[in-house]
């Protein structure tokens, strides 16, 4: 996979949070993620994992350095252009499911499709149903999010992240609130998204055991990526 062009790349990225006492959240990070890669970012709380994820997801802009998406420097893009990239090319999953409580499960999943407007209403609904079925939630499509368990909600959030068939999936502690069985299930989904569908997946987690299932691990301490114990040798399950 290393021969593939990276989907997203950080080049000397530093993010300083202004304020009375400026805090450096991310320090001089160089990294890239290619299609089919499942990258786990680990590290203690406050090490800058989430901040790095927001930078890769174009939700935040670096203080110094560049973030390239599909080879394009995003520094030159305006807010609307970044929003358009997030809409069509990325999917986010957060620790809290963040489903909209006013909408049903199906409508939550269809929301990004409707915003993008490529599919007609019927098409969007069919695709949303398909995604839910894939995540084992076909029976819950007509329910309200608050009728579901935490693990189910998180899977709905993943279905929503997949709505517009993104090339990059970014997840911030997606299993943080889940029991271990649900957590494993969610990680299985991420692994297959990368390995079987060739998407780039970046997951921030502090669960080292789960992180081991990634194809690559990055460890962060104090905002910088540090060499971790040699990653599992084996390798690219992708492609093929």
Partner 1 sequence: MRLALELALAQLLRRRRQGVVSVLGVTLGVGFFIAMAAMMQGFQRDFVARVIDVQPHVVVKDEFRRRPAQAAELAAGPRAAVELRGEKPVDEPRGIRGARAIAAALGDMPGVAVAPNLAGQVFLRYGTREVAATLTGIDPEAERRVGNLERDLVEGSLDALHVVANGLVLGEALARKLGARSGTTLSLSGTQGVVLKAKVVGVFRTGITSLDTSVAYALLAKAQVVLERPNVVNQLRLRLVDPEGARDFALRVEERFGYRSESWQESNANVLGIFVIQRAIMYSTIGAILVVAGFGIFNVVSTVAWEKARDIAILKSIGFRERDILAVFLLQGLLVGVAGMVLGWVLGFLIVAFMGSLRFEIEGFVRLQGFVLHRTPLHYAASGAFALATSALAAWIPARRAARADPVDILRGAT
Residues that bind partner 1 (CB under 8 A): 50-51, 54, 57, 59-60, 79-80, 83-88, 90, 92, 94-96, 98, 100-103, 111-112, 114-116, 160, 172-173, 176
Q: How far is the CB of 215 from partner 1 (least distance, A)?
A: 24
Q: How far is the CB of 220 from partner 1 (least distance, A)?
A: 16
Which of 4, 206 has the CB closer to partner 1? 206
Q: Where are the alpha helices (DSSP H) in the chain?
A: 49-56, 79-89, 105-116, 121-134, 150-161, 180-195, 208-211
Which of 10, 195 has the CB closer to partner 1? 10
> Which residues are within 8 A (CB) of 223 and not within 5 positions of it... i.e. 6 or more apart?
15, 24, 25, 26, 27, 29, 47, 48, 51
Which of 115, 196 has the CB closer to partner 1? 115
Which of 25, 238 has the CB closer to partner 1? 25
Do 42 and 219 form a contact (C-beta atoms < 8 A)? yes
Do 46 and 72 form a contact (C-beta atoms < 8 A)? no
> DSSP assignment, residue 47?
S
Q: Which own/partner contact pairs does 110-116 have at CB distance under 8 Å and 24+ positions apart? A: 110/163, 111/160, 111/163, 112/87, 112/160, 112/163, 112/164, 113/163, 113/164, 115/87, 116/87, 116/88, 116/164
Q: How far is the CB of 3 from partner 1 (least distance, A)?
A: 30
Q: How far is the CB of 101 from partner 1 (least distance, A)?
A: 7
Q: How far is the CB of 209 from partner 1 (least distance, A)?
A: 21
Distance, in Å, from the CA atom of 91 to the CA atom of 197, rounded to the nearest integer, reads: 14
Which of 110, 195 has the CB closer to partner 1? 110
Q: How far is the CB of 90 from partner 1 (least distance, A)?
A: 8
Site of tokens 């492609």: 239
The residue count for the chain: 240
Which of 97, 216 has the CB closer to partner 1? 97
């Amino acid at each position: 996979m290393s021969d593939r062009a990276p989907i997203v790349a950080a080049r000397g990225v530093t993010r300083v949070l202004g304020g009375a006492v400026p805090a450096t959240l991310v320090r001089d990070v160089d990294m890239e993620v290619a299609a089919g890669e499942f990258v786990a970012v680990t590290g203690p709380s406050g090490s800058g994992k989430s901040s790095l994820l927001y930078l890769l997801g174009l939700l935040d802009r670096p203080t110094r350095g560049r973030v390239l998406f599909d080879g394009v420097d995003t520094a030159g893009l305006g807010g609307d252009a970044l929003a358009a990239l997030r809409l069509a090319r990325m999917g986010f999953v957060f620790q809290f499911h963040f489903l909209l409580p006013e909408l049903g499960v199906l409508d939550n999943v269809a929301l990004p499709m409707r915003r993008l407007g490529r599919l007609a209403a019927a098409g969007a609904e069919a695709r949303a149903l398909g995604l839910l079925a894939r995540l084992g939630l076909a029976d819950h499509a007509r329910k309200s999010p608050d009728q579901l368990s935490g693990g189910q909600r998180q899977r709905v959030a993943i279905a929503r992240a997949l709505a517009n068939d993104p090339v990059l999936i970014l997840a911030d502690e997606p299993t943080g609130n889940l029991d271990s069985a649900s957590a494993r299930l969610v990680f299985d989904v991420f692994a297959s998204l990368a390995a079987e569908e060739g998407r780039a997946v970046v997951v921030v987690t502090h669960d080292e055991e789960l992180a081991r299932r990634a194809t690559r691990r990055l460890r962060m301490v104090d905002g910088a990526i540090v060499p971790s114990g040699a990653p599992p040798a084996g390798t690219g399950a992708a492609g093929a």
